[in-house]
Amino acid sequence: MTTLALGSVAAFGLALLSAVAGFGGGVLLLPVFTALFGLRVAVPMLTLTQVSSNGFRVWLNRRELRWRLIGWFAAGAVPFAVAGGLLLAHAPLGALQRLLGAFLIGVVVWRRWNPHPRKPADPSFAAVGAASGLGSALLGSVGPLTGPFFLAYGLTRAAYIGTEAAGALTMHLSKIAAYGAGDLLTGKVLLYGAALTPATLAGVWVGKRVVGRISDRVFVLLVEIGLVAAGILFLAGL
């Protein structure tokens, strides 16, 4: 019960962060889940919480969705998410942790190096989806990698948060199917995922209510600090 209570607090806080900043909750939640449950359980369990979180964000921002971008993103994300999900059952956990640590720090460096990229063409989101699907299936979450592309396209506020969440939702549903085929959706994973869903939905709801009152710049900065901290912990093997 203590483990679930800690997981619920983390799920609430980081779902709130995702609802406001549009990304960051998944990658920050993964180290918490890994410490509480172990990486092999944490990745599919995180996916279950992300389905509920992203699904609710899509519903709350449904009037601002950009369906064309969602379609292109899904075209790349779905097959690569399935492939990555099937690979996870046999992936070396130690190497994955170090790769995730380097990835998290690299995301922050990339965002700082290229804060104003060119507006991407619609079909390019298939490649974004493919990289996101494969990386997310193996590493749990790569939301910060996709966020800059949606922002560069010109999406803001509800359009950005809802469209990014809709693309991520297609990816996470595909991952669940792959995890099931790879025997990773154990009873323990399903039970914990269901138990953490209420806290996740509550965090998204609160985040939606405060999104217009909090500076996006401050939240992005907080997310980046959290990414670097999580990356260092993974590289250190903690």
The string of pLDDT tens digits covering residues 102-147 is 877 887 787 788 767 678 899 999 998 998 888 777 766 666 667 7
Q: Measured between alpha carbons, how far is 155 from 169 in angstroms, rounded to an integer?
A: 18
pLDDT, tens digit, for every residue of 28-40?
677 777 777 777 7
Task: Give residue 148's Cα distance to chain centre.
Answer: 14
Each domain of the chain, given as residue ranges in start order, spans 2-235
- Beta carbons within 10 angstroms of residue 198's beta carbon: 13
- Beta carbons within 10 angstroms of residue 119's beta carbon: 9
Non-local (6+) Cβ contacts of 46 within 8 A are 26, 29, 30, 33, 140, 141
- pTM over the 0.85 mark: no
What is the C-alpha end-to-end distance of the chain, expressed in Å? 23
Burial label for 215, CB within 10 Å (0-12, 13-18, 19+), is: exposed
